[in-house]
Amino acid sequence: MEQQPNAIPGTDALIRYCGTFTPLLAERAEGSYVYTTDGRAILDFTSGQMCSVFGHNHPDIVAALQRAGDQPIHLLSAMLSPAVLELCQQLAALLPEGLDRCLLLNTGSESNEAALRMAKLSSGGFEVIGFAGSWHGMTAGAQSYTYSLTRRGYGPAMPGSLMIPPPYAYRCPVQHCKGTCDHTCLEAGMQLCDQQSVGAYAALIAEPVLSAAGIITLTPGYVARLRELCDERGLYLIFDEAQTAFGRTGHNFAFEAYEVQPDLLTLSKTLGGGLPLAATISSREIEEDCYEKGFMYVTSHVSDPLPAAVGLATLNILLRDEMAARAREMGTYLKAALLELQERHECIGDIRGAGLLLGLEVVADRHTRAPSPELGSRIADRCLELGLSMNIVRIKGYAGVFRIAPPLTITREEIDLGISILDQAIAEAVAQP
């Protein structure tokens, strides 16, 4: 079999699941760095897959893993352990009343599947609304309401899959406003859903910051109106906080920035601090209704003790080290540095986001806002060559947007280094013929 360009030797036994693999082999990781087998240190501005929120191999998480190895690692799905009970109780205590019941799973896809099944069972409907550009998972249900790059070629989505445009103020999806969203996209999108609906609404699922869509933040006023529109239609509001929870946006949970709370909340990525752990959280009323109706969600690793023990360590780090406050502080520092870069480089069209989840949009022309995903890709490739891992969204119609999400433990010196590398990479990529 012919190797891909720059392929890593030995990948001929792998199913290629993400296009091309990154041309390096990671040997170890610690803090803000990934270290390769050839001795390179790569500064990680993505926290792995946005999961190692408190840095790679945090010593508290490693210690929790070691302790958990002396306890049950896996049990019958209906059998519980102290770690599972304690983590669910601590999450419920940290969250406001109305988010009281917890189910522990492994991935964001699973937690969204469970939330969607509960919403459908409780509401009696099956129609679910998602945002254009959203990403909620790769399993059949979650994928049906993921309006990103992953839909084509796999057959029909779930019946009742509906979509509304995001409040992408920099590139208004209904070509109405420029720079400041006045919620026209929301009103028009919901009207279109009403026209398509067969009268069986179940839920609307959204990230508080639409990440795969290019770091599009939802404002308090937008979310308040979204809540009203959901209530008018009997839609359960599901917040998918895979990337935004555990301090990332400057709050323990991103929805705390609004005067609105969801009916169901899903957590993943950050909850495990780099380990596969996710949670679906609902109100007592929804859980009791679903239980009475025979709710079933049995997987091989539901309520496993080992990841729950890690989740307890992650939760402890969040609260003990005041990570939300640290994200606000370091996010302000990083955003200021990015804005300085914007003054020097015409190809930086927009800087947006919250806390340490920031977006940098690359354009061909700042005045026309013409997208330049090709330039964005060249910048990302050059960054990696220089020792900085950056993630860029490459969705047709969404230009090239860097998702910048370093560990919340990152230092100012590491941010300065990353900015220096990015500065050099942009200059060299722009100069490239």
Kindly list the catalytic residues.
135, 207, 240, 243, 269, 403
Residue 421 CA to residue 300 CA, distance in Å, equals: 44
What three-state secondary structure class fits 24? coil
Tell me the β-bridge partners of 358. Answer: 353, 404
Residue 23 has φ and ψ, to the nearest 5°, of -80, 60
Contact predicate 275/317, CB 8 Å: no
CA distances from 384 to 45, 50, 85, 211, 215 (A): 11, 17, 42, 21, 21
How big is the CA angle at 146 (ends 141 and 152), to the nearest 5 degrees?
95
How far, in Å, CA of 134 to CA of 140, rounded?
A: 15
Q: Which residues contact 344 (CB under 8 A, 6 or more apart)?
A: 423
Distance between CA atoms of 86 and 70, rounded to whole angstroms?
Answer: 18
Report the alpha-carbon distance of residue 95 to residue 83 in Å, rounded: 18
Q: Are 48 and 268 in contact (CB under 8 A)?
A: no
Instruction: Please state, in angstroms and rounded to a whole number, the distance separating the CA atoms of residues 118 and 262.
Output: 14
Q: How far apart are CA 421 and CA 382, in angstroms?
A: 9
The number of residues making up the chain comes to 433
